[in-house]
Homo-oligomer: A and B are copies of this chain.
Amino acid sequence: MRNGSSVQVRLPSELGFEKVAMSTAASMASLMGFTEDRIEDLKTAVAEACINAIEHGNQMNSGLTVGVVLSTSEDRLEVKVIDDGAGVRAAPHAPDIDRKMHGDEDPRGMGMFLIQALVDEAEWYKGPPGKSFVRLVIRLDKENE
């Protein structure tokens, strides 16, 4: 595989299509030699990023698409999930299960936390419209940690 090869995907802003991005990402990661465990982590992170792009970024507007750019290099797979919204600046916060169980915290609000917990790098970028994205990285050398 050439260093820097990249695959681009455009998805409709419709819930369910995150599963297409999961399959595409899993297939790239499998070709790169990632283990099944890491591929499962990546799939969940990519799904959550796409769901956020569809729901929050593009607000389910069927005229907008979600971009997914998967770039390989020798030791890492980078995935950018791009939407047309204003982006997020707030850092993900860990869910507080006790507060959720007492109704003091929305039962939702776990997506960004899971993304950050499951991949090696996760960064959210606020951009001009059509340029907000989250950038995820999984590294081959982190396989055995």
Contacts and interface: CB of A to CB of B under 8 A. Distances in A.
A19 B27 contact: yes
A130 to B, nearest CB: 16
B2 A24 contact: no
A101 interface: no
A94 interface: no
- Copies of this chain held together in the complex: 2
**Interface of chain A: mostly helix, strand, loop or mixed:** mixed
A31 interface: yes
Interface in A11-57: 11-12, 14, 16-17, 19-20, 22-24, 26-28, 31
A25 B22 CA distance: 12
A7 B11 contact: yes
B31 A19 contact: yes
A12 B7 contact: yes
6 contacts: A2-B62, A7-B10, A7-B11, A7-B20, A20-B28, A24-B27
